[in-house]
Amino acid sequence: MAFLCRSAALLLRPCKTAPVALSAARLCSSGGQYEYIVVEKRGEKKNVGFIQLNRPKALNALCDGLMREVGHALDSFEADNGVGAIVITGSERAFAAGADIKEMQNRTFQECYGGNFLAHWNRVSTVKKPVIAAVNGFALGGGCELAMMCDIIYAGEKAQFGQPEILLGTIPGAGGTQRLTRAVGKSLAMEMVLTGDKIGAQEAKQSAFELTLAEGNRLEKRLFHATFATNDRKEGMTAFVEKRKASFQDN
């Protein structure tokens, strides 16, 4: 995975001007309909698998249904010999502003741990074909993690990357603490994860290295699940849903 600071506008623009193609493309290969994403084959040779996250009112918040659809689209592109590479994008305003906090608000530790909550997101990082994230606007929390699961990130000038989970009383749970370190270096990653501060495309581009991820990811996921045993995680997410300031009690 590497951050490349290049205009994502080129990749983003065509989807806005092709509404006819889009409605046809909403049918997924099994005949079912995609509700949260737009899927089509792009390019002169139709060899680019294109996935656009499409929950504009929620700034593409990554609800469970959306991520299941992304997984399904990736499966079908991987099985399609006519597809050589895959692009995942959002809108100019948001790649994805985060995971779906409402869905998480009332989850318990037992549910998260027992069901290995978020484990299926990992599909994005196991696709054998190159996956490119074309990012503009917000790529926060789960959105930043989704972008970092891709092999390459093309970031537009308006892209903003961040892991603001700390502000909700939890931690990243889909590789954020692991991949961010490898993407921007330990110091900046620690600063971002501990403060929730965002960075732009230029800053994201400045350092990069890659190490084994699996064990770090496993541990991170379990610690993320553990935050669901705290009152502060519940309070943080409830305050977010109720659009008020969180009152953390350190428990």
Ligand X SMILES: *[C@@H]1O[C@H](CO)[C@@H](O)[C@H](O)[C@H]1NC(C)=O
Closest chain position to ligand X (CB): 106
Query: Which of 40, 69, 165, 220 does the annotation list as catalytic?
Result: 165
Task: Return the DSSP state at 250.
Answer: -
Contact (CB, 8 A) for 193 and 186 = no
- Catalytic residue flag (residue 185): no
Cβ–Cβ contacts within 10 Å for residue 59, how many? 19
> Which is nearer to ligand X, 15 or 101 (by Cβ)?
101
> Which is nearer to ligand X, 88 or 101 (by Cβ)?
101
Count of residues in contact with ligand X, rule CB under 6 A: 3
- Catalytic residue flag (residue 142): yes
**Rounded least distance, CB 7 to ligand X, Å:** 37
Q: Are strands 152-155 and 160-162 parallel, antiparallel or unpaired?
A: unpaired
Label each residue of 7-44 as H, E or C. Answer: CCHHHHHHHHCCHHHHHHHCECCCCCECCCEEEEEECC
Encoded tokens for 218: 């496993």
Query: Which of 133, 145, 175, 239 does the annotation list as catalytic?
Result: 145
**Rounded least distance, CB 109 to ligand X, Å:** 15
Residues 95 to 114 in contact with ligand X, rule: CB under 6 A: 102, 105-106
**Rounded least distance, CB 36 to ligand X, Å:** 18
- Catalytic residue flag (residue 99): yes
Q: Which residues pair with 59 in a beta bridge?
A: none
List Cα–Cα distances, 63 to 26, 95, 118, 155, in angstroms.
Answer: 18, 14, 10, 23
**Rounded least distance, CB 118 to ligand X, Å:** 17
> Which is nearer to ligand X, 102 or 120 (by Cβ)?
102
**Tokens 């079908």 label which residue?**
76
* Residue 231 touches ligand X, criterion: CB under 6 A: no
**Rounded least distance, CB 99 to ligand X, Å:** 13
Helices (H), 50-204: 64-79, 101-104, 109-114, 123-126, 142-149, 176-184, 186-195, 201-204
* Residue 218 touches ligand X, criterion: CB under 6 A: no
CA 21 from centroid of its chain's CA atoms: 25
> Which is nearer to ligand X, 106 or 126 (by Cβ)?
106
Query: Which of 49, 137, 142, 176 does the annotation list as catalytic?
Result: 142
- Catalytic residue flag (residue 137): no
Query: Which of 73, 99, 139, 155 does the annotation list as catalytic?
Result: 99
> Which is nearer to ligand X, 198 or 233 (by Cβ)?
233
Residues with catalytic roles? 99, 142, 145, 165
**Which residues would be at the binding site for ligand X (CB under 6 A)?**
102, 105-106
